[in-house]
C-alpha cells in the first residue's frame, strides 16, 4: 500500500507534539505577556519596545524547534529529515503565533498591525533558519542556544547597527525600520531567512550551484579547460 507524505506527517504529529518544549513555551509566553503588559503602563505604547522584545522572546523559543527528543525513534525510518522537521516546525510556529497574537491584544493594543505581523513573520523565519544552520553545524542539544544569537542579532542588534550606519534614529519599533519602509525591510529579512533555511536542509551529496552551472550548455570555459581540450 502506498503511503503518502501527508499520512506520514500525521503519524509524526503526535511524537513531535509530545516532545516539544512545552514547559519552556508556557514560561516564555507568560513572560512575553508580562513584558507587553508592563510596556503599556503609564500610557506608553507597547508596540514600540515591549512587543518587539516579546516577539524576540518567542523567536528564541522557536530556535529549539529542531532539537528533537524523539529523533532516536523517527531517525531510523525512511522519512526525510525535511518532512520530520516540517512537522515539528509547524507545531512550534502555530503555538508561537497564538501566543504572539494574544500579546497584540494586551493593554492599549488593538490587535496586530502590518508592521507587527511582518516583524513576527521575519523573526520566526530567522529563528527556524538559525535553528537549521546550527543543528547542522552543532549536532547536539546546544544548537538551539547558538541559534538564539541569530534571533537577537536580527531583531535587536541589526536595527541598531543599520541605524548608526545610515544615520537613522535607533529603534526596534517594527514600523520604524532603519532602512527603507517596513514592507521592503521585513520582506528582505524573510526572503534571506527562507533561502538560508532551504540551503541548511540541502543534501550534501547533491551537486552545488557551481556544478550545475558547469553542466549548462554554452557555458564559459576556463583557460585551463580550453587548453586541455585544445591539446587533445
For residue 140, what pLDDT is reported?
Answer: 64
In a domain, 115, yes or no: yes
pLDDT of residue 205: 55
Is 216 part of any domain?
Answer: no
Neighbours of 5 (CB within 10 A): 11
pLDDT tens, position by position, 45-100: 899 999 999 999 999 999 998 876 655 555 555 667 777 888 888 999 999 999 99
What CA–CA distance (Å, rounded) separates 126 from 190?
Answer: 7
Looking at the domain assignment, is residue 152 inside a domain? yes
Q: Is residue 148 part of a domain?
A: yes
pLDDT at 25: 95
Percent above pLDDT 70 for the chain: 76
Which domain covers residue 81, as residue numbers?
Answer: 5-206
Tell me how far CA of residue 219 lies from CA of 42, 211, 226, 227, in angstroms. Answer: 65, 11, 12, 16
Q: Judge whether 227 lies within some domain.
A: no
Tell me whether residue 224 is in a domain: no
In tens, the pLDDT along 174-200 reads 888 888 889 899 999 999 999 999 898
pLDDT of residue 69: 61
Least confident of 18-27, 87-96, 168-177, 205-214: 205-214
More confident of the two residues 225 and 182? 182
Our count of domains for the chain comes to 1
Per residue in 100-129, pLDDT tens? 999 999 988 999 999 999 999 999 999 999
Burial grade of 33 (CB within 10 A; 0-12, 13-18, 19 or more): middle
Question: Residue 71's pLDDT is what?
Answer: 55
Whether residue 212 is contained in a domain is answered as no
Q: Would you say residue 213 lies in a domain? A: no
- For residue 11, pLDDT beyond 50: yes
Give burial (CB, 10 Å; 0-12/13-18/19+) of 136. middle
Q: Is this prediction's pTM over 0.85?
A: no
Q: What is the mean pLDDT of residues 6-12?
A: 70
Q: Between these two residues, 174 and 140, which has the higher pLDDT value?
A: 174
Amino acid at each position: 500500500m502506498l503511503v503518502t507524505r501527508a499520512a506520514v506527517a500525521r503519524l509524526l504529529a503526535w511524537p513531535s507534539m509530545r516532545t516539544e518544549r512545552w514547559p519552556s513555551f508556557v514560561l516564555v509566553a507568560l513572560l512575553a505577556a508580562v513584558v507587553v503588559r508592563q510596556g503599556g503602563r503609564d500610557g506608553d505604547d507597547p508596540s514600540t519596545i515591549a512587543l518587539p522584545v516579546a516577539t524576540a522572546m518567542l523567536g528564541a523559543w522557536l530556535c529549539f524547534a529542531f532539537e528533537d527528543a524523539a529523533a532516536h525513534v523517527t531517525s531510523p525510518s525512511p522519512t526525510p529529515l525535511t518532512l520530520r522537521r516540517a512537522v515539528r516546525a509547524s507545531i512550534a510556529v502555530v503555538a508561537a503565533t497564538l501566543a504572539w497574537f494574544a500579546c497584540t491584544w494586551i493593554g492599549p493594543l488593538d490587535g496586530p498591525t502590518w508592521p507587527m505581523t511582518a516583524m513576527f513573520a521575519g523573526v520566526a523565519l530567522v529563528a527556524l533558519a538559525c535553528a537549521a544552520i546550527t543543528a547542522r553545524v552543532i549536532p547536539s542539544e546546544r544548537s538551539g542556544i547558538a541559534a538564539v544569537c541569530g534571533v537577537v542579532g536580527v531583531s535587536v542588534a541589526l536595527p541598531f547597527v543599520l541605524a548608526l550606519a545610515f544615520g537613522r534614529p535607533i529603534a526596534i519599533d517594527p514600523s520604524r525600520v532603519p532602512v527603507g519602509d517596513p514592507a521592503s525591510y521585513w520582506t528582505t529579512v524573510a526572503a534571506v531567512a527562507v533561502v538560508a533555511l532551504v540551503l541548511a536542509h540541502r543534501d550534501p551529496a547533491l551537486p552545488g550551484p557551481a556544478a550545475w552551472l558547469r553542466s549548462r550548455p554554452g557555458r564559459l570555459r576556463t583557460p585551463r579547460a580550453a587548453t586541455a581540450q585544445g591539446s587533445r
